Amino acid sequence: MHIGSARAGSDRVFELRIYHVTPGKVPALESRFRETASKLLARHDMAAVGYWVPDDTPASNDTFIYLLPHPSRDVAKQHWAEMFADPAFQEMMKAEQADKLVQKVDSIYMHPTDFSAMK
C-alpha cells in the first residue's frame, strides 16, 4: 500500500492508536507487537505506518503508539471484527490476562486535510 496514493475527498482514514501501558511494561508490549501483534494486524489487512514510544518521561514509561491507514471506517470496522474473531488473536489476549500489559487503548480516526502531504 502506498501511503500517499489516496486522493483528497476519498473515504480513506487513519487510525491513531494510543496504548496506555502498565508502567514499566512498554518493552514487553513492544516485544508482543514485534513478535505477534504486527503479524496479526497484517494478516487482517492492517499494516501499520509506524510504531512509536515517546522519548520523554513520564509518557516513555507507559505509552505505545501506532498508526494504521484504512480504506474507510467501514473497512476498518470489518478488519477489526475479523481480527478479534481470529483464534491466534484470542490466544494472544488470553496471555495478556496473565501479564496485564495494557490498561487502556485510545483509538482516534482521522482524515487527511486537502493540504496534507500524507493522504
pLDDT digits (tens, 9 = 90+) for 16-29: 999 999 999 999 99
Q: What is the pLDDT of residues 81-112, one digit of tens each?
A: 999 999 999 999 998 888 899 999 999 999 99
Is residue 97 classed as helix, strand or coil in its secondary structure?
helix
CA atoms of 104 and 94, how far apart (whole Å): 16
Please list the residues that pair with 66 across neighbouring strands: 17, 51
Q: Which has the higher per-residue pLDDT, 54 or 4? A: 54
- Give the mean model confidence (pLDDT) for residues 44-58: 96
H/E stretch holding 106 reads: strand 102-110
**Residue 39 phi, psi dihedral angles, 5° rounding:** -70, -40
- Give the mean model confidence (pLDDT) for residues 46-73: 96
Are 31 and 95 within 8 A, CB to CB?
no
The domain 13-104 is classified under which CATH number: 3.30.70.100, 3.30.930.10, 3.40.640.10, 1.10.540.10?
3.30.70.100
pLDDT at 4: 45
Beta-carbon contacts of residue 22 (< 8 Å; ≥ 6 apart): 62, 100, 101, 102, 103
Q: What is the pTM of this model?
A: 0.87
Show me where the domains of the chain are located: 13-104
